[in-house]
A and B are shown apart, each in its own frame.
Chain A
Amino acid sequence: MRLHNHPGRDIPPPMTAAPPPFGETQPRLSWAGFREGCLRVVPFLPGVIAFAAAFGASAVAKGFTLTEAVAMSALVYAGVSQLVGLEMWREAWTPAGLAGLALVTIAINGRMALQGASLHPWLAQHPPAVNYTQLAFLTDANWLIGERYRAQGGSDLGVLVGAGVFLWVIWVAATVPGVIAGRLVADPRLWGLDMVMPVMFAAMGAGLWKGRESIVGWGVAGLAALITWLVVPGYAYIVVGALAGAVAVALRPEPSSEQTP
């Protein structure tokens, strides 16, 4: 059975039909796959719930109402860009301010474009209407789940969609306790709530750090961002720093790779 070789998973297989052979090209999108995707979300839940609650608390610190915070989680559904958006948030937006917000959002969520590109061979078997709908639920975790599932020989797009939709529900719901907890705090600064975003970045950064191969990109990005922050007001430093880091990596000579495991 192709799906159920996870250690520690002893639930019965949700699919009773005979598994198709590897390399099948028939597009598949089933409820069984959807349920399978939901189950594969479970290991991600503690992190997702903590992150969504942290976002809710930060949103309250920025003066968001419960409705506004939940709406942002439901509509944007991209944690890091939501937190950075909060950092830039203001009472009134000029067209230039909105353009800056769009640019920063695109810079942060640009990684989704790469994830979408890597899913292309799988997704292309399905009609455009399906893909342009289900991609609204694309996020780091369901992308990872989908890629793992594919690597195991799976082909049911329901797994990607189910994981994405389930994560969205959890993300939106877990924003609420964060908002409520944030309201109980009289001085958000004393509780460090303004530092939730940098601390989550640090945690995610520590998880994404790949040792020596990360030094150039991260170092250039951090340094360029710091210099830009000192020189240019506003949040241009995120875009400038991130692009500087990515370009520095891209321009490096081909790494004499396979030395680092």
Chain B
Amino acid sequence: MSTDPLVFGLWTALAVMTLATYLCRIAGFAMMAHVPMTPRVRRGLEALPGAIIAATLVPSAVKAGWPGVLAVIAAIAAKRILKQDIFALMAGLAVVMVLRRLGF
């Protein structure tokens, strides 16, 4: 890899993420004058955040095995019951810690 001239480091990657995120922040405002928001487009865009969460969550939980899957279930339960992200985080991480220390 080190002989490849087209290799970039951390700060380039940070710049890419910064620029990509800024483009997202301004894109909707900038395009609003030109793109008609049909009900279909609107429904798709509204479904996008949940779809992103599901698409990220399912494989990453499965990757981590039983501790991962059970931690996710614990976090969802904690969030629904206690309504706070912090409790969901604590519950999920507690499940992972206990299961991994037990050798799972």
Contact = CB atoms under 8 A, between A and B. Distances in A.
Nearest to A123: B29
B60 A197 contact: yes
A92 to B, nearest CB: 5
Contact of A198 (B6, B30, B68): B68
B57 A250 contact: no
A123 B28 CA distance: 12
A195 interface: yes
A195 B6 contact: no
A192 interface: yes
Interface of B is mostly: helix
A254 interface: yes
Given A92-B7, A109-B21, A249-B47, A225 B88 contact: no
Nearest to A132: B26
A54 interface: yes
Contact of A201 (B27, B45, B57): B57
A102 B16 contact: yes
A247 B51 CA distance: 10
A127 interface: no
Contact of A206 (B15, B46, B76): B76
Interface residues of A, number: 100
A214 to B, nearest CB: 6
Interface in B40-86: 40-41, 43-64, 67-68, 71-73, 75-76, 78-80, 84-86
Interface string B73-104: 10110111000111011001111110011000
B47 A195 contact: no
Contact of A98 (B8, B41, B59): B8
Interface stretch (A14-22, A112-120, A146-154): A112-120
Contacts of B45: 110-111, 113-114, 246
Nearest to A189: B100
B33 A120 contact: yes
A69 to B, nearest CB: 11
Given A116-B26, A245-B55, A246-B45, A203 B79 contact: yes
Nearest to B6: A95
A145 interface: no
Contacts of B96: 192, 195, 199
Nearest to B2: A92
A78 interface: yes
Nearest to A227: B59
Contacts of A252: 43
Given A192-B97, A195-B64, A200-B75, 10 more contacts: A108-B52, A109-B25, A198-B57, A201-B57, A202-B88, A203-B78, A242-B51, A246-B48, A250-B40, A250-B47
6 contacts: A75-B15, A111-B48, A123-B29, A192-B93, A202-B75, A218-B50
